[in-house]
Amino acid sequence: MDHAIQEKVNKWLEGNYDEETKASIKKMQIENEDELADAFYRNLEFGTGGLRGIMGIGTNRMNKYTVGMATQGYANYLKKCFRDEIRVAIAHDCRNNSRVFAEITANVFAANGIKVFLFESLRPTPELSFTIRKLKCKGGVVCTASHNPKEYNGYKAYWDDGAQMTPPHDKNVIIEVEKISSVDEVKWSGGEADITIIGKEMDAVYLDMVKGLSVYPEVCKAQHDLKIVYTPIHGSGIMLVPDALKAYGFSNVHIVKEQSVPDGNFPTVNYPNPEETETMSIGLKQAKDQDADILLGTDPDADRVGVGVKNNKGEWILLNGNQTALLAFNYMIEARKAKGIAQPNDMVIKTIVTTDMIDVIAQKNSVACYNVLTGFKWIASLIKEKEGKENYIVGGEESFGLMIGNDIRDKDAVSAVAILCEMAAYEKNKGRSLFDKLIDLYVQYGFYKENLVSITKKGMNGAAEISAMMEDYRNNPPKTIDGIPVVALLDYELKIGKNLVDGTPWTIELPKSNVLQFELEDGSKISARPSGTEPKIKFYFSVNTKLINADEFDAKEKMLDEKIERIIIEMKLK
């Protein structure tokens, strides 16, 4: 075994770690040295969003020691930044060990003299963001690995605005966390009196906020029997989504029984992600059997939402994240205008890899649309920058996340489910479906079609392989893709855009990020971005064409799908 790895292993065997942990290490030394090396070859990185990794023993795993050390570093930074009483809020999802990690986090904060508000049991991530703002906390943590497989857990760290941290705090917290070199530096206990348990009273305030987002409550009342099927996919959405739908007046809600009980083993799915057809298959079957109007699914921490609808052939399908986003953005723009509550300074915010069709919709409706880096912390950061000057109404990204209204600073599937059902009710009130509305928008604004390819590179060499792929695209950009000239290259790492026709460069006015975008002469766009939370590199494809009428939809969709498939094959991603 590598000498540096062996030193880390010895430190755990000789240090103040529990006997069960030491016994597990000794067993792995005998039975699986490769697994032991992977568990210790590096420290689990406290990235700009916190921790995320496979649960188990070792410095490269999510366990009570890595969670405690991260919390100590975060506590040290909070104490450097704030002199008055420091408050934090802590929540967790349904995952195995999430409650344990949340209680450890609470104990370490409290032992450092920090006032802690700990939820009594599992709660959606968006409620944590809301709570930080409501209780005037300086920070917060939610223990979750979002939609990752059951082996994973994580630790999302928040700042005083209820958003995940942006510069300089994200990097500064990382510095403080990396200073904690031993479990002996962690204050594990002694401040329990500073922990306050919260629950139902905060739920009530949060649900009032969600109810206040409704644009057309009278339509929800008229269509109260809209047939809704909802699955929490064994996660925390069950705690609030049914209550949110009830608050909107919907009385015909059917919960997918097989997936209704919180369970960190996710027994009915391989991957608890509402983006996946397999994950949503039980819900899709129930929606079909019950002839529902809409199907909704939320991931384990209820910040992502999947949507199922009947298409123009009467088949049940899942909308992709871009389709869900453009429907929601359009509704918040169009309905507010029709209701007479639109403001001249209304703004919407999306990410650079989310469909450009939203930009077109906003422009045609004279609403400012801003593009930010991937992640809701960047949406939150821009809201803060524009506060008092522009009126934020909705933000989102293609990865099945929406953030509606100004009282929250992270993606929120609870409010998204409620608003999406209101949208379905709004269309049903006119004798139409959400899919009908989607095609109408394509006819009105242009037919944009997107796809995503994710390539996973696991193990010790994974990060290096992903880095090499990005450098190759950066240094050797393609001149044509699918026979169409590449007219612009946007390098967000170097913060430089370049017109490849005449060589004109320009500065990208966004923070640095390892993202490349290729813009084609026909308006197509390909983006490459390593994931910030998983050992993946993601490729985003966007193509578009005109749609004269709804009758053309199937033929034009086939044409766009074939174009994306050709690009994927040409770029050797399949």
Q: Within 10 A of 388 (CB to CB), how many other CB atoms are there?
A: 6
Does the active-site annotation cover 146? yes
Q: Within 10 A of 199 (CB to CB), how many other CB atoms are there?
A: 13
Pick 46 or 308 by higher pLDDT: 308
Q: Inform me whether the pLDDT recorded for 48 exceeds 90.
A: no
pLDDT category at 460 given cuts 50, 70, 90 is low
Q: Check residue 162 and give left, alpha or beta (phi > 0: left; psi -120 to 50: alpha).
A: left
The verdict on whether omega for the bond into residue 485 sits within 30 degrees of 0, i.e. cis, is no
Q: Inform me whether the pLDDT recorded for 212 exceeds 70.
A: yes
Angstrom distance (rounded) from CA 272 to CA 232? 10
Q: Tell me: do 363 and 217 sit in the same domain.
A: yes
The strand pairing partners of 88, in sequence order, are: 116, 139
Name every residue whose Cβ is closer than 8 Å to that of residue 164 and which is 6 or more positions away in sequence. Answer: 48, 49, 50, 156, 157, 158, 170, 375, 376, 377, 380, 410
Structure confidence at residue 459 (pLDDT) = 67
Domain containing residue 125: CATH number: 3.40.120.10
Pick 431 or 535 by higher pLDDT: 431
Average pLDDT of the segment spanning 114-143: 98
Structure confidence at residue 176 (pLDDT) = 95
Name every residue whose Cβ is closer than 8 Å to that of residue 444 and which is 6 or more positions away in sequence. Answer: none
Q: Tell me: do 33 and 173 sit in the same domain.
A: no
* pLDDT tens column, 17-27: 999 999 999 99
Average pLDDT of the segment spanning 219-228: 98
Q: Inform me whether the pLDDT recorded for 342 exceeds 70.
A: yes
- Mutual orientation of helices 3-14 and 19-31 as an angle, nearest 10°? 150
Domain that holds residue 483: 450-570
Q: Inform me whether the pLDDT recorded for 222 exceeds 80.
A: yes
Structure confidence at residue 294 (pLDDT) = 98
Structure tokens at 160: 């005083």
Q: Tell me: do 6 and 62 sit in the same domain.
A: no
| Helices and strands in the chain, H and E counts | 18, 23
Q: Tell me: do 269 and 143 sit in the same domain.
A: no
* pLDDT tens column, 399-424: 999 999 999 999 999 999 999 999 99
- Percent residues over pLDDT 70 in the chain: 99
Angstrom distance (rounded) from CA 166 to CA 380? 9
Structure confidence at residue 481 (pLDDT) = 95
Q: Tell me: do 323 and 355 sit in the same domain.
A: yes
* pLDDT tens column, 229-274: 999 999 999 999 999 999 999 999 999 999 999 999 999 999 999 9
Q: Tell me: do 155 and 269 sit in the same domain.
A: no
Q: Tell me: do 538 and 429 sit in the same domain.
A: no
- Provide the 3-class DSSP secondary structure of residue 404: strand
Q: What is the mean pLDDT of the chain?
A: 95
Structure confidence at residue 80 (pLDDT) = 97
The dihedral through the CA atoms of 307, 313, 314, 316 has a sign that is: negative
* pLDDT tens column, 490-538: 999 999 999 998 999 999 999 999 999 999 999 999 999 987 666 789 9
Q: How many domains does the chain have?
A: 4
Domain containing residue 507: CATH number: 3.30.310
Question: Which of 158, 173, 198 is the last residue in one of the domains?
Answer: 198
Question: Which of 407, 423, 445 is the last residue in one of the domains?
Answer: 445
Structure confidence at residue 458 (pLDDT) = 75
Task: Name the active-site residue from 24, 146, 214, 433.
Answer: 146
Structure confidence at residue 532 (pLDDT) = 66
Q: Tell me: do 147 and 276 sit in the same domain.
A: no
CB 481 within 8 A of CB 526: yes
Cα atoms in the 13 Å half-sphere on the side-chain side of 542 = 26
Average pLDDT of the segment spanning 321-349: 97
Average pLDDT of the segment spanning 334-363: 97
Q: Tell me: do 407 and 481 sit in the same domain.
A: no
Q: Tell me: do 262 and 389 sit in the same domain.
A: yes
- Percent residues over pLDDT 90 in the chain: 92
Beta strand pairing call for 152-159 and 139-143: antiparallel
Average pLDDT of the segment spanning 556-561: 98
Structure confidence at residue 283 (pLDDT) = 98
Structure confidence at residue 30 (pLDDT) = 93
Q: Inform me whether the pLDDT recorded for 191 exceeds 80.
A: yes
Amino acid at 310: K
Q: Tell me: do 461 and 413 sit in the same domain.
A: no
Q: Tell me: do 111 and 16 sit in the same domain.
A: no
- CB burial class (10 A; 0-12, 13-18, 19+) of residue 270? exposed
Question: Which of 445, 480, 495 is the last residue in one of the domains?
Answer: 445
